[in-house]
Every structure is written in structure tokens, then in C-alpha cells.
């Protein structure tokens, strides 16, 4: 395979001017080579080094930070299958085991010590490689996988057989990929899904699209910020910071230019709402960005899109192009003197890049490790300039607020955090993205979703994997920031995972910990060293090789991580342990007493990242 080819120069000229520094070009270039050549070799790195003027070892450091750059040649077809909690609850473990056994996949033997992917080669390595990944953001249609960037959902043995047999014959799989995620708009009137599937600008406009933006242009930026403040909108990414306040801080910061960055690195396991918004309502995001950019005074925006959403790149780029052609994006929009453009920046598989400062580092083309705060991004973010980082769902609420007015908006749902909220629901009979007013109860959601997939509810993770697990007693809890806190958990991203009584909680914790270990950026000691230690102990418990003291040790290690790490990733790992020990300690004791897993679930050794 040729390592050197024409193309990078084209990409460079295409991207020129969109980024504040040349370093940002590293990831687009790596993606280009990763796609065209199939993997990143030292020659590739040297070529990128020449193109960007950066040192080769810096580029190597960047490339090996992310999961999806390959450092070895792979087969023509690549299966990337999810093993995370939601898919696991739908049987991903046994499916992966079946896949490996049935198709005689062997762990990749390679001289490359770089990268994080768990690779397996089939008996026909030329044809097919398998990579076991963390959450693909398709939890509602799990188990899920990507086959050559195409999403396949609701996998079972029959469907997998069908797909792989087609590939081996050299054909495109003919079966329905089942990649449509069900959406349940709010009753009686949807706000965020009103323009769903308006993929072209005209249909979006017909339903009232871009009216909010044009209206906004008639006001002063400060007035827009006031409107957002008044609406009470709080960020939907997990932390729930008041959006209007964030914008105001950025607006006040000098040191121009300012940037607006949309966090579409939806990595929190159990969460897939942003995927639906981006895929089926792209213009709403663009319109939200336009209003946001106008309000804070930004002229360049970025959508940091996670690697796992490949099909969305084309959708977004098409929408951006259309908007540009319509004169709503670019220089001097509608003759107002306001200029704004958007660049889609693709991540490469690193959960930590959902943390806003790590995301900015990654956008700057560096290893995605969080930065020291303060200074906060609103003061010194991308390239040291004032930068607002908003979640996809947050920015989608902006046109809604302007359309219905902040007063109306603030009446929706709970008072401390009003507005519609998207809940990604999985482990149930009717999984999908539910648009519900903030403050709806967990029980109501479960009822709407038709109850758990099978059996009875045993455990609920209410806001993505990083929020402490709850027992069924918590079904009364309302889904808003304050209520969940009272129940010892968090609203998080609104990724609700229900688990039935066949779920082994030790195993769930172990899988969670193997995720945090895999995704820990390695910057700070407690997270880097502690998550792996926790995983090891959990593994011993699950395999029946532990003593009661180990439970105490788990608790202590979690305490030693909690509150001492650089960013929230370590805290999340610790609080998963704390939650599961608090609510399901008996099950841990049971494992130790029996010296085996009472659920008879065998540990899937091959999928364990060692």
C-alpha cells in the first residue's frame, strides 16, 4: 500500500483559514491517512511533520492518544463492535464471544505497541478485522456495531452471521441495518423535534427555520444573552451550568477573536440524544450556533464531532454548505456585518474529549488532556481566546427559546432547570430518545418506554454511566438536577439505562471500570493508576478470587480517587463504585461467599483490555 500519496496538500488548502493554528491540522491529516492508507506508519508521521512543521514525536504523541488511529494494517473490512454497559445489557458480551468463536478471530499479534484498539483478525485477515470498542452512542438499538463506518443495530447471532457471510463473499450486506433510532417527541407539541428530518434548508425554513436567527439579528447581542439568561436554560452536557451566564462571561472577555465550539463528543455511555439531533435536525444546530455566535461575538465555530458518528459528517457538511449558499453563513450575513462560519472537527475516539478543556486541546491538535482551570475557556480557550463550549442539545434549545420566548420556555418542566430535555432510554421495550419536560419522574419514563426489556427492573443508571446507579425504589425520583441529587445520583446527560434482574452488578461495575481505565487520559495519578486497580479487584470478585477485605479496599480506593483527580473522569469512576457498593453490597458479598458469579456469567477474557 502506498504510504505517500497526493491529497494532504488538497486537504491543507481546503482547511486553510478555518483554524487558529497549524497544529489543528494534525487530526484531519491523521484521519486522511488513516482512511486512505488504513493505518498510521512512521513515514506517515514524518510526512505530516513536514506538512505542519511540528516535530514527529509530537504527532506520534497525538496520534497514539486516540483510539481510532490504527498503527498496523487491517483487513479490508473493519467491524467495530460496542461492549459498553447498554449494549452489554442487551447481550453484547455473549454476541462478541460468539463472533470470535464462530469466525475464528484471533487476537492481533503485532509489533506495534501503539494505540488502544482491541483488534482481532479473522482466519481471513485480509478480509476482516474486528475491533471491540467502547460506547458507539447507539444504546437504544444495541447491541450495535460499525461496519466500515456504517452503523448496524439490534444485532443478534442471525444478523451477525448474515452480515459476515456477505462480507466474506465480497458483497455488501443486504439486510436492514436497523440503524434508525426511535424518537418520541414531546406531547402535545414538540420543541426540539418540530423540524425533525428537515435535512435540506428549504424544508427547514418552511417549518419556520432560521426565523429565530433573523429575529436575533434585530437585537443587540447583549439583549440575546439576557433572553437566554431569563429562559433559565442550563447546559445539557451534564454539569448544568447556566448557558446565558457562560455567554455573558465570554462576551465580556477581551482578547479577540472569540470562538464558539459545539461539543458533539457524546461519549457518555448510555447517551445518544445528540446523535439524533445532529443526524435528523442539523439545521437546528446551525441556527443555534448562529444565534450563539452573534450573541458572544464569535466569527468562527466548530462542531467537535466524535469519531463514532461517521454518517453525520456528510449530513452536517451538506447542511453547512446549503446555509452558506443561502447567505446565512459566511461573510457579512444578510448585510448585517456579522460574519460566522462553521468547521466540523472530527474526534478520534477519546471519551475525555467530552470534557471541555480536553476538547479544546484536541481541537488544537494536541493530546486531549484537560487543562488547568482557571483560566476557564470563556476567558482563555481555543488558541488562548475566549471560547464558549456548548453541548449539542443546549445549542438546539436556543432557537426554541427565541421562537417561543423566554417566559413560555421557563414554564416548561421543573423550575430550577426548565425546558424540554432529551432522555436517551435503553434497556427497555421501547428504547429511543424521549423529548420530555424536565422533571418528569423515572417511573413515568419507564412506563412510557414499556417497561424493562425483560423481567423486572433491578437497577437504574439515570444520567449516563458516570452517574451512580439507583435501585427501583428511586423510580419516584423526578428527573431534574436537584431531585436526582437527593437520591444520591445525578441528571448527567439524561442517558437512562434500565437493567433487569439478570444483570450482575459486579460485572456491570467491572465493565464500567474497564471503560474508565481505557479512557483515563493518564495525566493525573489517582485516575491513571486507580481505575486499573479497581478493575483488577472487580475482576477478582467476579471470578470468585476475592476476599471480603477486597470490598473494603474497593471502597477505600474509590475514596482515594474521589475529589483528588485533575478532572471529573476520576470522580465518575469513583462514584460508580460508591453507588454500586452502596446499593448492591450484598451481591458483592454473594460473589465472595460462592467464590463465583451467581449469574453464571463467564468473564469475557478476550474483550478485556490487557
Partner 1 sequence: MIKVTINDRTVFLSEPVTVLEAAKRAGIKIPTLCFLEGLTPWGGCRLCLVEIERIPRLQTACTTMITDGMVVRTETDEVKRARQAVLEFLLINHPLECPVCDKAGECELQDAVLKYGPSTGRFREGKRKTPEITVDPLIVRNMKRCILCTRCVRTCEELQGADALSVINRGDRSVVEPFSGGRFDCEYCGNCLSACPVGSLISKLHLHKYRPWMVETEEGVCGFCGVGCRILIQRRGNSIIRFWSSLGTEGLDSVVKVRVEEPNNGLTCAAGRFGYDFLDHELRLRTPFIKIGEERYTLSIDEVIKRSADSLLEIKKKYGPTSIAGIAGGRLTNEDAYLFGKLIRGLGSNNLDSTARLGYIQIQQFFEELFGPGATANRAQGVLTSEAVIVAGGDPLELAPVFGSHIRQAFKKGSLVLTIGFIPGLRRHSRSIGESGDSSKALRRLTKAIMELKSKEYKEGIFKKIADFIEPLITSEEVDKEIKEIAETISKKELISLVLSGDILQKKGGIIDLFCLGLIAYLVDARVYLLQEFPNDQGLIDLGIGPDILPGGRDLSVEAWRSHVEEIWGFPIPSQKGKDLYSIIELIEKGEIKALYVAGLDPVTEIPGGGRIREALKKLELLIVQDSFFTETMNIAQIGIPVAVWPERDGSYTNFERRIQFFNASINAGSGSKMPPPDWEVFNAIGRNIGLNMPYRSIDELWLEICSVSGLHKALSLPLLKKGLLWPYLGEPLRHTIPVTEEWLKGLKGEALMGQSSFSKSKKIIVEKFPYLSATISRYSKALNLIGGAGVKLALDTAKALNMDRANEITVWDSYGDINLPLKIDDRVPEDIITIPKYFNNRSLYEITDFSRDITGVPLWSLNIKMG
The DSSP bridge partners found for residue 258 are: 298
Compute the distance between CA of residue 228 and CA of residue 74 in angstroms, rounded to an integer.
49
Q: Which range of residues in 218-226, 415-423, 485-493, 526-534 is near partner 1 by CB under 8 A?
A: 526-534
Return all residues near 501 (Cβ < 8 A) that are at least 6 apart. 455, 456, 457, 458
246 binding partner 1? (CB under 8 A):
no
Does 269 interact with partner 1 (rule: CB under 8 A)? no
CA 465 → CA 387, 513, 561, distances in Å? 28, 10, 17
Q: How far is the CB of 368 from partner 1 (least distance, A)?
A: 9
Q: Which stretch binds partner 1 (CB under 8 A): 49-57, 393-401, 410-418, 423-431?
A: 49-57
Q: Does 525 bind partner 1 (CB under 8 A)?
A: yes
Binding residue for partner 1, selected from 64, 89, 195, 281, defined by CB under 8 A: 64
Of 52-60, 82-90, 209-217, 223-231, the window that binds partner 1 (rule: CB under 8 A) is 52-60
Dihedral (Cα; 571, 573, 574, 578), 10-degree rounding: 130
Q: Of 72 and 531, which has the nearer Cβ to partner 1? A: 531
> How far is Cα of residue 344 from the mean position of the Cα atoms in its chain?
15
The interface with partner 1 within residues 332-391 (CB under 8 A) comprises 350, 367, 372, 374
Cell numbers 443486504 correspond to what residue? 174
Query: Shortest gap between Cβ of 397 and partner 1 (angstroms)?
Result: 30
Burial letters 419-446, b for 16+ CB under 10 A, else e: bbbbbbbbbbeebbbbbbbbbbbbbebb
* Alpha carbons 381 and 364: distance in angstroms, whole number: 10
Q: Give the nearest distance from C-beta 530 to partner 1 in angstroms.
A: 6
Task: Report the 10 Å Cβ neighbour count for 88.
Answer: 27
Which residue in 399, 403, 519 sits closest to 466, CA to CA?
Answer: 519
Which residue carries 447498554 as its cell?
86
**214 contact partners, CB below 8 Å, separation of at least 6:** 334
Select 45 or 446, whichever has its Cβ closest to partner 1. 45
> Does residue 500 belong to the site contacting partner 1 (CB under 8 A)?
no
**Which residue of 2, 53, 335, 337 would you call a contact of partner 1, by CB under 8 A?**
53
Binding partner 1 (rule: CB under 8 A), the pick from 98, 338, 533, 582 is 533
Cell numbers for 263, please give them: 461539543
Asked if residue 589 binds partner 1 (CB under 8 A), the reply is no
Which residues lie below 8 Å from residue 388, measured CB to CB, with a gap of 6+? Answer: 246, 247, 250, 258, 259, 260, 261, 292, 296, 298, 377, 378, 381
CB-based contact 370:377 (threshold 8 Å): no
Stretch that binds partner 1, among 1-9, 76-84, 320-328, 522-530 (CB under 8 A): 522-530
Stretch that binds partner 1, among 212-220, 274-282, 401-409, 517-525 (CB under 8 A): 517-525
Q: Where are the beta strands (DSSP E) in 99-199?
A: 106-107, 118-121, 128-133, 145-147, 150-152, 183-184
Q: How far is CA 407 from the centre of its chain?
A: 31
593 C-beta neighbours (distance < 10 Å), count: 12
Minimal distance, residue 107 CB to partner 1, in Å: 16
By CB under 8 A, is residue 530 in contact with partner 1? yes
Nearer to partner 1, 391 or 531 (CB): 531
Choose the stretch contacting partner 1; rule: CB under 8 A; options: 83-91, 214-222, 260-268, 523-531.
Answer: 523-531
Q: For partner 1, how many residues bind (rule: CB under 8 A)?
A: 46
In terms of CB distance, is 102 or 556 closer to partner 1?
A: 556
Q: Which is nearer to partner 1, 64 or 195 (CB)?
A: 64
- Closest to partner 1 by CB, 391 vs 520, is 520
Task: Find the distance separating the first CA and the last CA of the chain, reported in whole Å.
Answer: 30
Among 178, 214, 239, 553, binds partner 1 (CB under 8 A): 553
CB of 369 to partner 1, least distance (A): 9
Contact with partner 1 (CB under 8 A) among 476, 522, 586, 595 = 522
- Which listed residue (16, 43, 50, 450) binds partner 1 by CB under 8 A? 50
Helical H segments across 356-504, by residue range: 356-363, 392-404, 406-410, 442-448, 481-486
**Looking at 42, 102, 197, 332, which residue binds partner 1 (CB under 8 A)?**
42
- The CA distance from 176 to 478, in Å, is 37
Any contact of residue 519 with partner 1 (CB under 8 A)? Answer: yes
Q: Does 520 bind partner 1 (CB under 8 A)?
A: yes
> Which residue from 289, 389, 276 is spatially nearest to 333, judged by alpha carbons?
289
How many other β-carbons are positioned within 10 Å of the β-carbon of residue 223? 11
Q: Name the residue nearer to partner 1 (CB basis): 396 or 558.
A: 558
Provide, rounded to whole angstroms, the least separation between the CB of residue 563 and partner 1: 5
CA distance 295 to 291: 6
Q: How far is the CB of 41 from partner 1 (least distance, A)?
A: 13
Does 523 contact partner 1 by CB under 8 A? yes
Among the listed residues 181, 183, 284, 521, the single contact to partner 1 using CB under 8 A: 521
Q: Which of residues 392-431 bind partner 1 (CB under 8 A)?
A: none
Owner of C-alpha cell 472530527: 346
Residues 58, 219, 249, 338: which binds partner 1 (CB under 8 A)? 58
| Cell numbers for 415 | 423550575
DSSP string of 545-558, one letter each residue: ---HHHHHHHHHHH
Of 19-27, 178-186, 331-339, 521-529, the window that binds partner 1 (rule: CB under 8 A) is 521-529
Residue closer to partner 1, measured from CB, 51 or 127? 51
CB of 541 to partner 1, least distance (A): 12
For position 135 contacting partner 1 by CB under 8 A, the verdict is no
Interacting positions 203-222 with partner 1 (CB under 8 A): none
For partner 1, the binding residues (CB under 8 A) are: 42, 45, 50, 53-58, 60-61, 64-66, 113-116, 350, 367, 372, 374, 517-526, 528-533, 536-537, 553, 560, 563-566
Amino acid at each position: 500500500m502506498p504510504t505517500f500519496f497526493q491529497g494532504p496538500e488538497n486537504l491543507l488548502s481546503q482547511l486553510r483559514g478555518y483554524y487558529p493554528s497549524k497544529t489543528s491540522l494534525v487530526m484531519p491529516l491523521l484521519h486522511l491517512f488513516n482512511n486512505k492508507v488504513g493505518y498510521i506508519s512512521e513515514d506517515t508521521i514524518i510526512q505530516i511533520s513536514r506538512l505542519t512543521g511540528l516535530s514527529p514525536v509530537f504527532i506520534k504523541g497525538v496520534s497514539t492518544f486516540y483510539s481510532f488511529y490504527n498503527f498496523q494494517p487491517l483487513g479490508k473490512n473493519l467491524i467495530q463492535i460496542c461492549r459498553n454497559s447498554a449494549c452489554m445489557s442487551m447481550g453484547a458480551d455473549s454476541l462478541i464471544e460468539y463472533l470470535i468463536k464462530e469466525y475464528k478471530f484471533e487476537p492481533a499479534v503485532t509489533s506495534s505497541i501503539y494505540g488502544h484498539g482491541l483488534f482481532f483478525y479473522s482466519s481471513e485477515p485480509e478480509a476482516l478485522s474486528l475491533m471491540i470498542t467502547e460506547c458507539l452512542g447507539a444504546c437504544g438499538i444495541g447491541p450495535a456495531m460499525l461496519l466500515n463506518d456504517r452503523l448496524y443495530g439490534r444485532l443478534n447471532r442471525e444478523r451477525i452471521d448474515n452480515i459476515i457471510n456477505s462480507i466474506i463473499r465480497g458483497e455488501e450486506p443486504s439486510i436492514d441495518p436497523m440503524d434508525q433510532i426511535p424518537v418520541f417527541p414531546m406531547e402535545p407539541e414538540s420543541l426540539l423535534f418540530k423540524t425533525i428530518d428537515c435535512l435540506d434548508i428549504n424544508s427547514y425554513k418552511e417549518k419556520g427555520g432560521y426565523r429565530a436567527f433573523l429575529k436575533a439579528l434585530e437585537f443587540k447581542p447583549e439583549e440575546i444573552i439576557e433572553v437566554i439568561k431569563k429562559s433559565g436554560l442550563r447546559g445539557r452536557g451534564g454539569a448544568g451550568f447556566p448557558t446565558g451566564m457562560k455567554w455573558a462571561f465570554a462576551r465580556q472577555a477581551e482578547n479577540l477573536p472569540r470562538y464558539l465550539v459545539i461539543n458533539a463528543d457524546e461519549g457518555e455511555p448510555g447517551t445518544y440524544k445528540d446523535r439524533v439531533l445532529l443526524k435528523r435536525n442539523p439545521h437546528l444546530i446551525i441556527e443555534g450556533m448562529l444565534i450563539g455566535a452573534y450573541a458572544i461575538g464569535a466569527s468562527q465555530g466548530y462542531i467537535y464531532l466524535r469519531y463514532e458518528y461517521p454518517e453525520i459528517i456528510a449530513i452536517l457538511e451538506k447542511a453547512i454548505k446549503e446555509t452558506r449558499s443561502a447567505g446565512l453563513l459566511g461573510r457579512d450575513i444578510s448585510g448585517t456585518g456579522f460574519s460566522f462560519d462553521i468547521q466540523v472537527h472530527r474526534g478520534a475516539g477519546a471519551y475525555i474529549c467530552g470534557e471541555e478543556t480536553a476538547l479544546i486541546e484536541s481541537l488544537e491538535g494536541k493530546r486531549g488532556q484537560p487543562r488547568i482551570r482557571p483560566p476557564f475557556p470563556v476567558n482563555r480557550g481555543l488558541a488562548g481566546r475566549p471560547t464558549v463550549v456548548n453541548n449539542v442539545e443546549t445549542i438546539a434549545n436556543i432557537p426554541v427559546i427565541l421562537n417561543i420566548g423566554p417566559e413560555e420556555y421557563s414554564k416548561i418542566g421543573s423550575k430550577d432547570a426548565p425546558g424540554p430535555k432529551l432522555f436517551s432510554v435503553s434497556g427497555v421495550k421501547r428504547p429511543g430518545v424521549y423529548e420530555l419536560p424536565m422533571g418528569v419522574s423515572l417511573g413515568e419514563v419507564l412506563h412510557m418506554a414499556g417497561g424493562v426489556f425483560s423481567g423486572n427492573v433491578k437497577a437504574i443508571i439515570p444520567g449516563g454511566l458516570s452517574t451512580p446507579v439507583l435501585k427501583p425504589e428511586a423510580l419516584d425520583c423526578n428527573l431534574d438536577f436537584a431531585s436526582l441529587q437527593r437520591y444520591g445520583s445525578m441528571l448527567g446527560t439524561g442517558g437512562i439505562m434500565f437493567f433487569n434482574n439478570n444483570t450482575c452488578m459486579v460485572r456491570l461495575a467491572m465493565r464500567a471500570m474497564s471503560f474508565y481505565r481505557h479512557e483515563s487520559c493518564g495525566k493525573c495519578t489517582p485516575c491513571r493508576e486507580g481505575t486499573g486497580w479497581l478493575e483488577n479487584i472487580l475482576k477478582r470478585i467476579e471470578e470468585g478470587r476475592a476476599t471480603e477485605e477486597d470490598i473494603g479496599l474497593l471502597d477505600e480506593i474509590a475514596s482515594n480517587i474521589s475529589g483528588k483527580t485533575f478532572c471529573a473522569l476520576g470522580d465518575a469512576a469513583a462514584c460508580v463504585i460508591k453507588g454500586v457498593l452502596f446499593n448492591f453490597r450484598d451481591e458483592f458479598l454473594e460473589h465472595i461467599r460462592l467464590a463465583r458469579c451467581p449469574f453464571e456469567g463467564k468473564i469475557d477474557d478476550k474483550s478485556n483490555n490487557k
